[in-house]
């Protein structure tokens, strides 16, 4: 299983939200590059960057921060938040992202995301499935879409999507464990999907359980920042 540490950015700083609530923001570091270099030094090779300013304002805001991290580490970066147009996608790729996460746009404009998959290839585009009670959440998790998670996934599997980050918003930032049953159901229905579990990881036991389920990867954020898991532990389980 791939361990993918997360850096969420507001005002150029490394933060975490609770259940996607911008009012429940906690700052962990003033310099995301310093945090990213810490991950790389520990032996981790991937990084998940979320532009929370971008998600909220519906346009990419922190491309310069992405570029600094990409230029000064060898981490394979996936980037999400505010990618709504061809121009924003090109900006993110030009700033050094290896992959981009299509979240809200995948629910609101599937034809555009289908075009991206065809143009850039399914290795470049990660489907972002942020979910509340099996409904896809959009616009920085602030709104519901009316779209069922499993219908959403089925639609994109048919478009040859390979990777999906699935975040249960109700668990994100609470350190109460991931949505194991949800991920089991997704894996059972879509066994070829490279599913990346996000939200709720609180301990190494959680990561061991996710590995047993067979998910492709797990995003770790608050559990590391709050000292629940160490970088050495994360590097040891990373495949």
Catalytic site positions: 8, 130
Q: Do the bridges between strand 125-132 and strand 135-138 make them parallel or antiparallel, or are there none, so unpaired? A: antiparallel
Beta carbons of 12 and 168 less than 8 angstroms apart: no
Q: Are 1 and 211 in contact (CB under 8 A)?
A: yes
The H or E element containing residue 17 is: strand 13-18
**SS (HEC) of 83-132:** CCCHHHHHHHHHCCCCEEEECHHHHHCHHHHHHHHHHHCCCCEEEEEEEE
Sign, CA dihedral 32-195-180-134, equals positive
* CA distances for 7 relative to 33, 62, 91, 102, 150, angstroms: 10, 12, 19, 17, 27
Residue 104 CA to residue 117 CA, distance in Å, equals 15
């Amino acid at each position: 299983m791939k361990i993918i540490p997360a850096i969420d950015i507001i005002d150029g700083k490394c933060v975490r939200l609770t259940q996607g609530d911008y009012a429940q923001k906690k700052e962990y570091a003033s310099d995301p590059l310093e945090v990213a270099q810490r991950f790389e030094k520990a032996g981790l090779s991937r990084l998940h960057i979320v532009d929370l300013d971008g998600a909220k304002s519906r346009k990419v805001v922190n491309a310069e921060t992405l570029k600094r991290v990409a230029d000064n580490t060898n981490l394979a970066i996936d980037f999400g938040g505010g990618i709504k147009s061809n121009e924003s996608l090109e900006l993110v790729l030009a700033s050094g992202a290896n992959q981009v996460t299509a979240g809200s746009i995948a629910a609101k404009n599937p034809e555009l995301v289908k075009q991206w998959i065809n143009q850039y290839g399914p290795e470049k585009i990660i489907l972002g499935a942020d979910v509340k009670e099996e409904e896809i959440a959009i616009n920085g998790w602030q709104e519901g879409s009316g779209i069922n998670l499993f219908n959403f996934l089925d639609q994109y599997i048919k478009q040859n999507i390979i990777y999906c980050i699935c975040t249960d918003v109700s668990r994100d930032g609470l350190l109460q464990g991931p949505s194991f049953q949800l991920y089991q159901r997704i894996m059972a229905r879509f066994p070829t999907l490279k599913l990346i579990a996000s939200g709720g990881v609180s301990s190494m036991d959680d990561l061991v359980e996710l590995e047993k389920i067979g998910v492709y990867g797990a995003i770790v954020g608050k559990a590391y920042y709050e000292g629940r898991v160490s970088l050495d532990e994360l590097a040891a389980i990373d495949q």
